[in-house]
Structure 1
């Protein structure tokens, strides 16, 4: 379709700086119609499971996500249809009854640890990024975030990182780097890479706009 939005995927491990990269790219387009969607919103609904089962959820595994729903909603946004994005309730380890209404935009940024894992999702993307940050920086950032924002203890964060986060990163997240068009080292601190990405996105938008105008002229 002529007015298909530009779809950008931003992947990377926990604490890599992918959210910062996505936000900084957004700020490069103050006049542009842009939308950011976090993969975390699409964790599976676990309402039918008892709490003790929900507590066992491995949030770093591909099966934790309702990718079918995400693909369905991205498809609707591509067709310029509004959607109701789910909200995840971390306190109860299941999907909330609330939703967030999203209107179609010219640029849609998809951000998440496993956003490049599913081929169907990758096929919807015009540009695929992987934010590649050293593991020591990622664990420090995760440690600070979980202690300051989520009330976790140092021991619990380290235990979760060594038993779940790190092995899942090596098994599932790191391998998706090969699908990226561009790899950004050091996350949001890489100003040059972010500026280059913004330039590339502007080029893609201009090409789509030009192609759309030519199609209208020919018709």
Structure 2
């Protein structure tokens, strides 16, 4: 059997910013061998804009993500074809040189804010997961991450959270929970959430 004819399961993990999506994706990857495709790296390249404009861009609305590229890559992975996933810098809000070759194997985890947002993408997913967490917890985690990893100030993180992250989550992300096959708490121990997913997969083969 050639690679193109092998069935590939796509698992989508959605949820608000810093709810615990990435931690769950990594946990599942470590135990199943599935590759992880981070949909955050499909943000549109803003290198043609002045930095002050980039910094004021709303990154919590679906139109700022390259939906066409995500869908093209998801279809390729589902058919067993490798893809070249882009790299994105959250410090400069631009694409960076190089890419990651994702070989699909039997399963690929697609993780990101909008993983369950587009109907065309949902139709390709074998399992749809949603990770939720209280807004206060998400803000605390986002402060920790963005200050250390994305060169942000506490003031800028809080301003962005109040002006775009929360409104975007309430408008575009929270409703996606209705499409999930399984909803998980991002404040539960990761082992508990991960085992729930593995049990769900085992009983829905």
- How is 1:51-70 mapped onto 2 (pairs within 5 angstroms)? 51-70=51-70
Which shows bigger deviation, 53-62 or 167-176?
53-62
1:141 aligned residue: 141
Please state whether the residue corresponding to 1:41 is helix, strand or coil. helix
Q: Deviations over 1:158-186 (max 9, x none)?
A: 11111111111111111111111111013
Contact persistence 1:77–1:83 (CA under 8 A): yes
**1:126 matches 2:126:** yes
What is the CA–CA distance in structure 2 between the aligned matches of 1:81 and 1:186, rounded to whole Å? 32
What is the CA–CA distance in structure 1 between the aligned matches of 2:105 and 2:68, rounded to whole Å? 21
What is the CA–CA distance in structure 2 between the aligned matches of 1:79 and 1:177, rounded to whole Å? 26
What is the CA–CA distance in structure 2 between the aligned matches of 1:94 and 1:142, rounded to whole Å? 20
Please state whether the residue corresponding to 2:162 is helix, strand or coil. helix
CA RMSD of aligned residues (A): 1.9
2:112 aligned residue: 112
Question: TM (normalized to structure 2)?
Answer: 0.89
1:212 aligned residue: none
Structure 2 unaligned blocks of 5 or more: none
> Relative to 1, partners in 2 of residues 1:139 and 1:55: Cα closer, same or farther, differing over 3 Å?
closer
Number of equivalences: 202
Contact persistence 1:133–1:185 (CA under 8 A): yes
CA positional deviation for 1:49: 3.9
What is the CA–CA distance in structure 2 between the aligned matches of 1:183 and 1:176, rounded to whole Å? 10
CA positional deviation for 1:70: 0.9
**1:7 matches 2:32:** no
2:191 aligned residue: 191
What is the CA–CA distance in structure 2 between the aligned matches of 1:148 and 1:94, rounded to whole Å? 19
Contact persistence 2:24–2:193 (CA under 8 A): no
2:26 aligned residue: 23
Contact persistence 1:8–1:110 (CA under 8 A): yes
Structure 1 unaligned blocks of 5 or more: 208-219
CA positional deviation for 1:50: 4.5
Larger radius of gyration: 1
> Relative to 1, partners in 2 of residues 1:95 and 1:150: Cα closer, same or farther, differing over 3 Å?
closer
Please state whether the residue corresponding to 1:28 is helix, strand or coil. helix
Question: TM (normalized to structure 1)?
Answer: 0.84
Contact persistence 1:20–1:188 (CA under 8 A): no
What is the CA–CA distance in structure 1 between the aligned matches of 2:53 and 2:185, rounded to whole Å? 37
Please state whether the residue corresponding to 1:113 is helix, strand or coil. coil
What is the CA–CA distance in structure 1 between the aligned matches of 2:80 and 2:48, rounded to whole Å? 33
